[in-house]
Amino acid sequence: RQRDPSQPEFHQAVEEVLMSLWPFVEKNPRYASAGLLERIVEPERVIMFRVPWVDDKGAVQVNRGYRVQMNSAIGPYKGGLRFHASVNLGILKFLAFEQVFKNSLTTLPMGGGKGGSDFDPHGRSDGEVMRFCQSFMTELHRHIGASLDVPAGDIGVGGREIGFLFGQYKRLANEFASVLTGKGLAYGGSLIRPEATGYGCVYFAQEMLKKRKLSFEGRRVAISGSGNVSQYSAEKAIELGAKVISLSDSAGTVHIPDGLTSEQLAWVMDLKNNRRGRIAEFAQEYKLEFLAGKTPWALPCDIALPSATQNEIHAADAETLVKNGCVCVAEGANMPSDLGAVEVFLKAKILYGPGKAANAGGVATSGLEMSQNAMRLSWTRGEVDNRLHAIMKSIHHSCLEYGTQKDGFVNYVDGANIAGFVKVADAMLEQGIV
């Protein structure tokens, strides 16, 4: 904290992980040796750079770009790029730190990284977004590579941005390399990658629910956000017979008491992905209640899938969720529950799946995209989906292995943190003090 006093999200992520790890490390002292914990919280490398670009009015804009290369003990750095006005070094360090454990949990050989910019794509034309992406990649390209660092999407970075970034990389590097994932199908993308984080989160929640002989069938599901993760969590939840009662964005929440229909979801996908509109327009179109400035957590639900951003559930929201009968929280977003909220869920002993386990399906499928690129072939939709499903089940299994308590309660936070840590820690110890 003294070294980086203005990085509260990073401190929060580290605190959560170390709270799980400490009792485990005390029992397994080799993990306290060789400065391992001190090294694991320090990025291997941080790159910060100027991103100058020209807007549609001809004015010069200057943003800040970053890539945090956190840990390469088990494979090349891997993690998304976030374009959002709130982006700063502390937020990217928290995301990169989480990514290290998440990637390890997938069982695939991927190290952890994260990057992005404080560029805000809202309201920007396609031309502006392209010029920004080209400028961003003009610097980033010298720091990434198929065996070095393979970025992907995150908030504000979807198929359009990945396309522009890839085009500029190819032009500068003069090679067609698997240097980004989340690519379009026409140029090396994988089927199911757009769906993977949302589907994976629901698959993980299904496994958790099975522990209590429950399922999605007929359950009320509250989802926050209306971007990539939210859309495909909703799609899979509907497919499993659940009633999706909310979607949101930073302006507020749409309450859908009768449950989102597939037709409405298709309308939202077009609104968000093609027309780049606001979720309030969905409420207006279908005459639904719009709760301006509100999150979905006061709406009574059985299952909550927070899928927007970090720290969107505070302790009071968690209390409300539990009081209203919510039995399962699976995090599509990264660190959406703050430390107080996590404490409430664990105390209430509901099923609580932290992001690094529940949303690992996205990066896992990015790993599958890299494998397909390396083999220069494409798997079918069913094949990728089956692999994703199997990976989510295996992550759930690892959480049970390290998180099951004496009374049978599964602390998925401990389970995910310890299971993710062991492989990275073993690799770091074997590679010496580097």
- The answer to the question of residue 117 lying near ligand NDP (CB under 6 A) is no
Residues 222, 245 contacting (CB under 8 angstroms): yes
Question: Which residue from 149, 195, 249, 385 is in contact with ligand NDP, where contact means CB under 6 A?
Answer: 249
What is the per-residue binding string for ligand NDP in 184-213, x denoting contact by CB under 6 A? -------------x----------------
Which residues does 316 contact at the CB level (< 8 Å), separation at least 6? none
Q: How far is the CB of 31 from ligand NDP (least distance, A)?
A: 27
Q: How far is the CB of 229 from ligand NDP (least distance, A)?
A: 4
Give residue for tokens 């295996």. 394
Query: So which residues are the catalytic ones?
Result: 114
Task: Compute the distance between CA of residue 338 and CA of residue 350 in angstroms, rounded to an integer.
Answer: 16
Helix 315-323 with 339-348: angle, nearest 10 deg: 30
Binding residues for substrate: 78, 99, 102, 153, 366
In this complex, which beta carbon is closest to ligand NDP, that of residue 29 or of residue 293? Answer: 293
- The answer to the question of residue 181 lying near ligand NDP (CB under 6 A) is no
Sign of torsion over alpha carbons 169, 173, 177, 180: negative
Rg of the chain, C-alpha, whole Å: 21
In this complex, which beta carbon is closest to ligand NDP, that of residue 25 or of residue 121? Answer: 121
In this complex, which beta carbon is closest to ligand NDP, that of residue 12 or of residue 404? Answer: 12
Cα three-residue angle 174-179-184, rounded to 5 degrees: 95
Which parts of 344-403 interact with ligand NDP (CB under 6 A)? 359, 362
Give residue for tokens 């559930």. 313
Task: Compute the distance between CA of residue 121 and CA of residue 155 in angstroms, rounded to an integer.
Answer: 10
Q: Reduce the DSSP state of residue 374 to 3 states and report it.
A: helix
Residue 218 exposure: Cα atoms within 13 Å on the Cβ side: 1
The stretch near ligand NDP (CB under 6 A) out of 38-46, 60-68, 126-134, 226-234 is 226-234
- The answer to the question of residue 226 lying near ligand NDP (CB under 6 A) is yes
The stretch near ligand NDP (CB under 6 A) out of 71-79, 210-218, 280-288, 303-311 is 303-311
Task: Compute the distance between CA of residue 351 and CA of residue 327 in angstroms, rounded to an integer.
Answer: 6
Q: Which residue is nearest to ligand NDP (CB)?
A: 227
Task: Compute the distance between CA of residue 193 and CA of residue 181 in angstroms, rounded to an integer.
Answer: 8
Q: How far is the CB of 204 from ligand NDP (least distance, A)?
A: 12
Q: How far is the CB of 86 from ligand NDP (least distance, A)?
A: 6
Residues 378, 372 contacting (CB under 8 angstroms): yes
The stretch near ligand NDP (CB under 6 A) out of 43-51, 171-179, 332-340, 382-390 is 332-340
Give residue for tokens 């970053």. 66
Q: How far is the CB of 96 from ligand NDP (least distance, A)?
A: 11
- The answer to the question of residue 37 lying near ligand NDP (CB under 6 A) is no
Which residues does 386 contact at the CB level (< 8 Å), separation at least 6? none
Question: Which residue from 137, 308, 318, 425 is in contact with ligand NDP, where contact means CB under 6 A?
Answer: 308
- The answer to the question of residue 225 lying near ligand NDP (CB under 6 A) is yes
- The answer to the question of residue 327 lying near ligand NDP (CB under 6 A) is no
Amino acid, single-letter form, for residue 268: V
Which residues does 218 contact at the CB level (< 8 Å), separation at least 6? 241, 242, 243
Question: Which residue from 96, 155, 256, 322 is in contact with ligand NDP, where contact means CB under 6 A?
Answer: 155
Question: Which residue from 309, 337, 372, 398 is in contact with ligand NDP, where contact means CB under 6 A?
Answer: 309
**Measured CA distances, 388 to 83, 204, 268 (Å):** 26, 10, 25
In this complex, which beta carbon is closest to ligand NDP, that of residue 154 or of residue 414? Answer: 154
Cα three-residue angle 225-226-227, rounded to 5 degrees: 100
Question: Which residue from 228, 246, 372, 411 is in contact with ligand NDP, where contact means CB under 6 A?
Answer: 228
Binding interface with ligand NDP (CB under 6 A): 153-156, 158, 197, 225-229, 249-251, 307-309, 332-334, 359, 362
